[in-house]
Each structure stands twice: as C-alpha cells, then as structure tokens.
C-alpha cells in the first residue's frame, strides 16, 4: 500500500503561540488566499518555492552546475541570476550544493508516518505543558485527507490537536477533520466581504458559513484577528465581529478572541522570492491602539488577548 504524504514547507518546534502549551507546528503548503500582509509567502503555492538570499551568495556557480532545470545561471559578469519563469521541481540539489546557505527550497512531500515520528519526539513537553500539535500553513484544509491522517494518528496517541485555518474551504473538508481537532484557531480578517476580497483575493461568505457550522456544532473555536492600522482596526470592524459572535458568547466551545498585531516577519521572504511586498507604509498598531480594541471587546465580556510574536 502506498502511504499518504503531506506537502509541507516547515516544522517548528517549541511553539508557544498557536494553541495551549508547548506545541509542534507543521506548516502545510498551499493557500487559497493572498493576504497582503502574509508572513509565510513561501507557503502560498502548492509547488516548491525557491528562497534566495542575495547578500549571502558569493557567485561560486555550484548551484548552476547541479540544477537540472537551468534555473540558476551566471551572467557575463559572473553574477548569479535566477530564471523565475522556469519551474523548480524541488530536487534540492542547488540547496545542498550551496555552502553559503543562500538557497532554500520550500516545499516537500513527507510521509504521514515520518511526520508522526517528528511530532512524537516532544511528547514530554506536551504532557507537562498541556501542549500538542498544531497544523497550519499555508492552509491545512487544502489537504484535508493528509491533515485528517495526521490528526487522527495524534488523537489515537493522546496528543492534543489544533489547526490554524483561514476557513476558506469546502464544508466537507471542514467536517472531515472536525472530529479530530481539539481546537480551531480560526482567522477572521474582516466581516465586510468586499473589503475581504480587496485584502485577500477571496470573498468571506464561505469562511463565515464554516465558522457558524463549527460553533453551532459545538467544536472548540478561538477567533484570531490579524490587525493592521487603518485597514481593519476601526470601531465599525470590531463591532461587526462582535455582533456576529454574540449568539455564541455563552457557548463553552467559543474560546474567545486573539488579536494578532501586524509584524514585518514576512518582508524578507518576499525579497528572497523576488516578489513585491504589497503592504505600503507601516500599518503596525501602537500599544494604545491595541488597548483600545481590547477594551472594546472586553466591554461585551468576550475573552480576548493580544498575541505578540
């Protein structure tokens, strides 16, 4: 029998932000959204993506010699060039050949059993802290079969499970994994569908419908709201979210709201992908801004906290 695999682009251990306790975070490759502030652009495409640190490259040409696709070249002046029009097949030969760590290939197929072995390595930390495994991305629900295999295996082993999701997925994909998820960390960018389209490239009706289904069917959900100044931090934005969540306020499975302040962790990755960073200026919120939003939510007796990376 051929073992199912998951397309991932990173595994982060000792994570303290994405669910309770100490967690192992597995990043699934591919995302249906194109959020302007995305901090993991290397996880957007389903195919392998090449990160290149220009400042680390010494133009040795080692990658040129091994790349089967001809993506890497040296120009007439002996300077390294990348042809982004050619498809990276993820063989990692260039990454292995580079002694300067200037090249990183993001995205690989990993057998589920191999992922479980990595997850099991930190079981003592899970047991002590109440932690476990969180599947993120990218968007994990783009690979519901693989996600379900990982989650089910973890549940069988008594490991706490969570997924971080944008919620833009087929309802059957959400239902498929739901019984194996102890906590959904559910992103809500804005309640306005037109604005959501401007910011992410998709409308939010499906996202909100899936959120309602999870809450109404008593699955544990914590709302996560990325916040950008003058983008989605207005009183009207926060009020719209509160009004949407009000019917679920007293449900035990509604676990409150996390506020995620904008940060610039993804900017360098855009440079390494040769992509233009979509966010103009600095939309970071001040402590005063965050306090205003937090107090606004607390007035309605919603559990709320600011998550700072």
Q: What is the DSSP string of 291-306?
A: HHHHHHHHTTT--EEE
Distances (CA, A) of 251 to 182, 220, 302, 306: 15, 10, 11, 22
Q: With 80 as the cut, is the pLDDT of residue 230 above it?
A: yes
- Percent of the chain having pLDDT more than 90? 96
- What is the per-residue pLDDT for 166? 98
**pLDDT at position 308, please?**
80
For residue 210, pLDDT beyond 70: yes
Stretch 236-256: mean pLDDT: 96
**What is the full DSSP assignment across 112-154?**
HHHHHHHHHTTHHHHHHHT-EEEEEES-GGGSHHHHHHHHHHH
Mean pLDDT value of segment 32-41: 96
CA distances from 258 to 35, 134, 174, 180 (A): 18, 16, 21, 22
Neighbours of 20 (CB within 10 A): 18
Distance of CA 234 to the CA centre of its chain: 24
What domains, with CATH codes, occur in the chain? 5-45+108-306 (3.20.20.70), 49-106 (3.30.70.20)
pLDDT category of residue 287 using cuts at 50, 70 and 90: very high
For the chain, give the mean pLDDT.
96
Kindly state the average pLDDT of the residues 156-172.
98
Residue 195: per-residue pLDDT:
96
Q: What is the pLDDT of residues 251-284, one digit of tens each?
A: 999 999 999 999 888 899 999 999 999 998 899 9
pTM for this predicted structure: 0.95
DSSP string, 4-55: PEEEEEEEEEEE-SSSSSSEEEEEES--S---TT-S-GGGSSSS-EEEE-GG
How does DSSP assign 172-193, residue by residue? HHHHHHHTT-SEEEEE---S-H
Categorise residue 138: left if φ over 0, alpha if ψ from -120 to 50, beta otherwise.
left
Residue 1 pLDDT > 80? no
Q: What are φ and ψ of residue 273, in 5° steps?
A: -90, -5
Binned at pLDDT 50, 70 and 90, residue 2 comes out as: confident
């Amino acid at each position: 029998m051929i073992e199912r695999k998951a397309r991932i682009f990173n595994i982060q251990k000792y994570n303290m932000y994405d669910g309770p306790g100490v967690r192992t975070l597995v990043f699934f490759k591919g995302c249906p959204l194109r959020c302007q502030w995305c901090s993991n652009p290397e996880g957007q495409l389903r195919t392998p993506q090449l990160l290149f640190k220009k400042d680390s490259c010494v133009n040795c040409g080692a990658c040129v010699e091994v790349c089967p696709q001809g993506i890497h070249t040296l120009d007439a002046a002996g300077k390294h060039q990348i042809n982004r029009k050619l498809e990276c097949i993820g063989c990692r030969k260039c990454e292995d050949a580079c002694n300067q760590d200037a090249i990183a290939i993001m995205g690989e197929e990993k057998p589920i059993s191999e992922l479980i072995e990595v997850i099991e390595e930190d079981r003592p930390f899970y047991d002590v802290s109440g932690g476990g495994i969180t599947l993120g991305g990218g968007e994990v629900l783009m690979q519901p079969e693989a996600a379900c295999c990982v989650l089910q295996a973890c549940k069988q082993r008594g490991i706490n499970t969570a997924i971080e999701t944008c919620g833009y997925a087929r309802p059957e994909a959400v239902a498929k994994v739901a019984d194996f998820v102890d906590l959904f960390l559910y992103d809500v960018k804005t309640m306005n569908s037109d604005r959501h389209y401007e910011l992410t490239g998709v409308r939010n009706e499906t996202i909100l419908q899936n959120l309602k289904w999870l809450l109404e069917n008593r699955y544990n959900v914590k709302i996560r709201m990325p916040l950008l100044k003058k983008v989605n931090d207005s009183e009207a934005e926060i009020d719209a979210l509160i009004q949407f969540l009000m019917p679920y306020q007293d449900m035990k499975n509604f676990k409150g709201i996390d506020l995620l302040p904008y940060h610039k962790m993804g900017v360098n990755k855009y440079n390494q992908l040769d992509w233009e960073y979509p966010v103009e200026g600095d939309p970071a919120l001040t402590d005063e801004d965050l306090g205003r939003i937090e107090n606004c939510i607390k007035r309605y007796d919603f559990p709320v906290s600011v998550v700072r990376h």
